A and B are shown apart, each in its own frame.
Chain A
Amino acid sequence: MTSTSRLTVRVAPSLTGIRAAADVLDTFQADHDLRQATGWPVHVALDEILSNIVRHGTAGLEDRFIEVTFALVDGSLQLTIVDDGPELNPLTLPEPDLTAPLEDRHPGGLGVHLVKHLCDRVDYTRRDGRNHLILTCRGPGAEQPGRGKG
């Protein structure tokens, strides 16, 4: 069975905007019975990506925005995050050192590391001067991400 449901919101590149996007994710999960299946990991992933954009990308710039599209695609929850900030491909960031002792630990890179492990699939493209990041989290009975849609 193939079904698609889609919702796009535009939020400010700020903590207020991040909170608004998280609230929409809550509602989208509840409306599509996805809370049990996709739960908290996608929330953490969304927070990591949006806070990265706010920190490194569009922060402080006027009239900038982040657009988040929530979609149910063949049973998977798919988040497409688009921003018009500088090119920022989180997948090319260096992996954090996860074995160093406390005094040598730094939080840098941890967020993207979490995203890679909490989502079933992460895709990045730079298109039309914008960053497009697609996070896919499988729901119950979903097809393998990347299959079925070609």
Chain B
Amino acid sequence: MDIAETRHGLVFVVAPAGRIDSTTSEALEQALTKAVDAGQRRLVVDFDGVSYISSAGLRVLLVIAKRLKTQPGTLVLCALTDAVRQVFELAGFLPLFLVEPTRDLAIARCGANAP
């Protein structure tokens, strides 16, 4: 799995590409964990290039969201594809996360929402 990382001021954007499943979720977890370990507190995960996500990926999002909540920090998700959105709906995940339609809006919200 390819994971692109971009910094926009204080906001750190992680953009995985392809499928997020049991075989790739560890790479995503490592990228996000590394960012938080390095002191990033404003994180955006951009799903634009994600074809689908399974519960292995949902677990990673739960872990990072819980961690950022206690830091505290801000996590914003954006550009959910139809497949990702449907899985989020089935898992009851939408109420748990800040979600924006585009990366720009997510970056703005992450900056504005930061503790």
Contact of B23 among A18, A98, A103, A107 (CB under 8 A): A18
A110 near B23 with CB under 8 A, answer no
A105 touches B22 (CB 8 A): no
Instruction: Say how far B59's CB is from chain A's closest CB, in angstroms.
Output: 4
Q: Is the CB of A48 within 8 A of B54?
A: yes
**Chain A residue total in the interface (Cβ 8 A):** 29
Q: Which candidate, A39-47, A78-86, A125-133, A141-149, is the interface stretch facing chain B?
A: A39-47
With a 10 A CB-CB cut-off, give which of A43, A47, A98 has the most chain B CB atoms: A47
Which residue of chain A is the closest to B91 with respect to CB atoms? Answer: A110
From A39, A40, A107, A113, contact of B90 by CB (8 A): A113
Q: Is A114 an interface residue (CB 8 A)?
A: yes
Tell me the interface secondary structure of chain A in the complex.
helix
Given A103-B69, A105-B62, A107-B55, verify A43-B19 contact (CB < 8 Å). Answer: yes
Question: Complex: how many Å from CA A98 to CA B87?
Answer: 12
Kindly state whether residue B51 has any CB partner on chain A within 8 Å: yes
Instruction: List residues of B (28-80) whose CB comes within 8 Å of A's CBs.
Output: 51-56, 58-59, 62, 65-66, 69
Residue of A nearest to B84 (CB): A40
Contact of A117 among B66, B83, B90 (CB under 8 A): B90
Q: How far, in Å, is A83 (CB) from chain B's closest CB?
A: 15
Out of A96, A102, A118, which one reaches B66, CB within 8 Å? Answer: A102
Residues of A within 8 A of B90 (CB): 113-114, 117-118
| CB-based contact A114/B22 at 8 Å | no
**Residues of chain B lying within 8 A (CB to CB) of residue A98:** 91-92
CB distance from A46 to the nearest CB of B (A): 9
Assess whether B96 is interfacial by the CB under 8 Å rule: yes
Q: Is A137 on the interface with B (CB-CB < 8 A)?
A: no
Q: Which residues of A contact B22 (CB under 8 A)?
A: 15, 18, 47, 50-51, 54
Asked if B21 is at the interface (CB within 8 A of a chain A CB), the reply is: yes
A43 CA to B53 CA, complexed, in Å? 9
Min distance, Cβ A34 to any Cβ of chain B, angstroms: 15
Residues in A lying within 8 Å of B, measured CB to CB: 15, 18-19, 22, 39-41, 43-44, 47-48, 50-51, 54, 96, 98-99, 101-103, 105-107, 110-111, 113-114, 117-118
Interface positions of B (Cβ within 8 A of A): 19, 21-23, 51-56, 58-59, 62, 65-66, 69, 83, 87, 90-92, 96
Shortest beta-carbon contacts, A-B, top 7? A98-B92, A107-B59, A51-B22, A111-B55, A40-B52, A47-B21, A110-B55
